[in-house]
Structure formats: structure tokens, C-alpha cells
Amino acid sequence: MEISVEQIKKLRDATGSGVLDVKEALQNAEGDFDKAVDFLRQKGLAKAAKRSDRDASEGIIELYSHGDGRVGVMVEINCETDFVARSDEFRKFVHEIALQIAAAAPKWIKEDQIPEAVIEHEKEIARTRYQEEGKPDNIIDRILEGMVDKFKAENCLLLQEYIRDEELIIQELLHEKISSIGENIVIRRFERWERGETID
């Protein structure tokens, strides 16, 4: 099937992938744009998995102030080389993550960082509420599973829906960026402050 320059440009603009990858995706998807995007995402996941054990000690710390100083974010994101750390693509990605943190207020980067005591506390509050509503225990257990998944998705940065595209979670956005840049990228740590909040 003949793939047009316009199709390649449209898919490149949408995904940030290289010309050869975009062309391969479009040919694989027989010109179907959505299928080509899915193909590139899957390829990105595979590439990201291969690079995940490579050392990432370069990168930048982004400072971002939102809402006329109402919210402040500091985030450190690492890559493998200083060359990539200085690139526009990497810096734009870091800025997007800072925006995400400002807007969506995650508490952790990934789910294994959530203390078990926090999960148990959330479950206990919900269990008490559902018991007071008279729901049977076996139903409550199923509800709690879904509630824990939702809690993680709302509070873990990598599991949150990307604020610019609800079809994408941050983990997928990260994998796409690893694939297009060609280096391992690690969201190392962040802090988020909101004016007027108390400091524990």
C-alpha cells in the first residue's frame, strides 16, 4: 500500500516518532491512523522495556509555578546523556510532567511507593461506610478492589490520565518518549506545594 507524505507527517506530529517508524506503522496498519498509533505505542512499550535497566544519571530539575504562584512544582527527571538532557524534546517532556503534577496533584510516582498502611486506612474507611449502608461482605470486598485501583490511578503519577489526552496514562507517555528519544528516562522525584497548605 502506498503511504502518502501527508499521512506520515500527520502521524509524526501526533506521536513524535521517527519517519521510518511512522512509515512502518502506517504500512502495518494499512493506512489506518488509529491502528498505526496503537502499533507505535506497542513498539514504544517494547523499546522502553529494553532500555529500563540502563543507567540514567543525567537530566534536569524543572521548577514550575502555576496559577500566579498558587502552586509550585519541583521535579527531577533523568536520562542517560547530557546531550539528551539539553534537547528541546526532553525539556518539553519534563515541563509536561511538571504541568501534570501541578494540575493532578499526585502523591507518589508509582504504586509500589504507596505505604501499605495508607491503602489499609482507605479500605477501612470505605468498608465501614459500606457496612453502615448494609452491603454484604462479599460485595464490599469486590467494591474495595475497585476502590483501591481508583485510588492508585488518582494518586500515582505514572497511573494518572495525561491532562492533555485522557486516552493516555503518564506511564504510556513516558514509554513513548523513551522510544522516540532512544534513551532510558526516569521520573526520579518531585515535590508539589500549594499556597496556604499546612506543612506536616
Question: Is 164 in the same domain as 79?
Answer: yes
Average pLDDT over the chain reads: 85
pLDDT level of residue 21 (50, 70, 90 thresholds): confident
Angle at 139 between CA 134 and CA 143, to 5 degrees: 105
Please state the pTM of the whole predicted model: 0.69
Query: Would 161 be classed as within a structural domain?
Result: yes
Q: Read off the DSSP letter of residue 67.
A: T
**Could you tell me if 16 and 45 lie in one domain?**
yes
Distance CA 141, CA 59 (A): 43
* Range of weakest confidence among 56-60, 63-67, 76-80, 119-123: 56-60
Specify the higher pLDDT residue, 75 or 54: 75
Same domain for 15 and 39, yes or no, is yes
Return d(Cα 168, Cα 42) in angstroms, integer: 13
| Residue 162 belongs to some domain of the structure | yes
Q: Would 199 be classed as within a structural domain?
A: no
Q: How confident is the model at residue 35 (pLDDT cuts 50, 70, 90)?
A: confident
Considering the domain architecture, whether residues 138 and 120 belong to the same structural domain is answered as: yes
| Domain span including residue 145 | 115-154
- For residue 200, being part of any structural domain is answered with no
Does 140 or 74 have the greater pLDDT score? 74
